Each structure stands twice: as structure tokens, then as C-alpha cells.
Chain A
Amino acid sequence: RKEVEQDPGPFNVPEGATVAFNCTYSNSASQSFFWYRQDCRKEPKLLMSVYSSGNEDGRFTAQLNRASQYISLLIRDSKLSDSATYLCVVTSSTSGTYKYIFGTGTRLKVLA
């Protein structure tokens, strides 16, 4: 089983739609969680960190469920510019060294 798993998609949604992605992780001791966005042929960029209580940034909402070991990303009122690949990132500690583990990404296409 992969340490971090995401549905690769693509998720094709019309403009204005609400779309949600999930990401599951296998290590119950994982400590920090992030969503990154990666545009085609570009570097990953931080979209938002994910906090235990859940957090919102404009149209984006991130949730963490430690009991079920998944994080989610909800995008409301989708824009064409939201089309990208969304990477789930989980950190864990091994012998004092933190590892950042990246999912393979979920591809989103927002259609006009």
C-alpha cells in the first residue's frame, strides 16, 4: 500500500461547480499535512496547510480526519484557472528526520 494515495482523476467539472478530493495516508503518526497545486510543466506550489480543526482560504476548504487517516480539499465555485493537479503531502518523523511524502496528484479540469 502506498504511503499516500490519491485518485488520479481527471475530475472534469463545469465552471461554478463544487468539487472535492480526498487523500488517504497509511502512517497514523503523520504530523503535518499540505495541499500543493501543480500546473502543467511547472513546479508544485503550496495551496494550503491542513490543520486539525479544518481551515478555509476563500473558495478552498481543507479538512483532516485523523481517525480515518485522510485529508480532503473542497473547491467551491470552480474557476477555469483552478485547472491543475492537486498534490497531497504528508510528513512523518523517522529517527528525528522529517519526511515529506507526496501523493501522485489528482488532476482537475474546469470546463467552460
Chain B
Amino acid sequence: NAGVTQTPKFRVLKTGQSMTLLCAQDMNHEYMYWYRQDPGMGLRLIHYSVGEGTTAKGEVPDGYNVSRLKKQNFLLGLESAAPSQTSVYFCASRHQQGLAGGQETQYFGPGTRLLVL
């Protein structure tokens, strides 16, 4: 199993350009997440999905859109990139329910480093 994979690994954009980050998981997980990580700040949730065809806003959704057309894929789009979106983006996934009813841990992809000039 590859686990959670992300493409691309690194990208440089100019202000105003658009791009899509792809996240794929082969663990049949129901839940998928997009986070951004900035220096001095914890991981912040951008959007998430609880199943195929569903998406919901997280803590910092402005400037981003997402789609979950297939269970294994979760796409994050930037329609018009801004320098404030320079960050490291992590995708994560998990099963709906953990053992003994507890919350299942999240598994992370390797990240995408985005620089917006």
C-alpha cells in the first residue's frame, strides 16, 4: 500500500495563477482532510470530506475549493493564488470509526510545498 500520496511535491506560482493539488489514498478511508502548516502555527484545517461527493469547510477555507468525486481522491484548488497562500499543504485520511468507538488516527501524505510570488 502506498498510503497517502500527494502531487506535486513542490510548486512555484505567480500571484493570480491557479493550480490543483491532488491527494490520493489507497486505504479505503472515508474521511479526508486538507491542512496547511505555517511556521509558528499548528496545522490548520482548510477543508475536509466525510465521504465521496461531500465536502465541508474547515478553519481557513477562504481562497480554496475542494472536490471529492472519487472516494480515494481529494483535490484542493487555488483559483487565484496569493502570496499569503505560500505554505506547506498536507493531506490526511482516516477511517470513520476507530477501535472501541474511539477516534481513528489520521494518516498524512508527504506534503506539497507551495511558493506564491
Enumerate chain A residues within 8 angstroms of B108, measured Cβ to Cβ: 43-45
Nearest-neighbour CB distance to chain A for B1, whole angstroms, equals: 15
Chain B interface SS verdict (over half): loop
- State whether A98 touches B110 (Cβ < 8 A): no
Binding site for B on A (CB under 8 A): 4, 8, 31-32, 34, 41-46, 49, 87, 91, 97-105
14 contacts between A and B (CB under 8 A): A8-B40, A31-B103, A41-B111, A43-B108, A43-B111, A44-B43, A44-B90, A87-B42, A87-B43, A91-B103, A98-B103, A101-B42, A102-B35, A103-B42
Binding site for A on B (CB under 8 A): 33, 35, 40-43, 45, 50, 56, 90, 98, 102-103, 105-111
Enumerate chain B residues within 8 angstroms of A103, measured Cβ to Cβ: 42
- State whether A99 touches B45 (Cβ < 8 A): yes
- Given A43-B90, A44-B90, A44-B108, CB of A102 within 8 Å of CB of B56: no
A26 to B11, CA, bound (A): 37
Enumerate chain B residues within 8 angstroms of A98, measured Cβ to Cβ: 103
- State whether A104 touches B111 (Cβ < 8 A): no
Nearest-neighbour CB distance to chain A for B100, whole angstroms, equals: 10
Nearest-neighbour CB distance to chain A for B76, whole angstroms, equals: 15
Enumerate chain B residues within 8 angstroms of A104, measured Cβ to Cβ: 40-42
The residue of chain B having its C-beta at the shortest distance from the C-beta of A31 within the complex is B103
A44 to B43, CA, bound (A): 10
List the 10 closest A-B pairs by CB distance, nearest first. Answer: A32-B103, A43-B108, A102-B42, A102-B43, A104-B42, A46-B105, A91-B103, A44-B108, A43-B110, A43-B111
The residue of chain B having its C-beta at the shortest distance from the C-beta of A91 within the complex is B103
- State whether B42 touches A34 (Cβ < 8 A): no
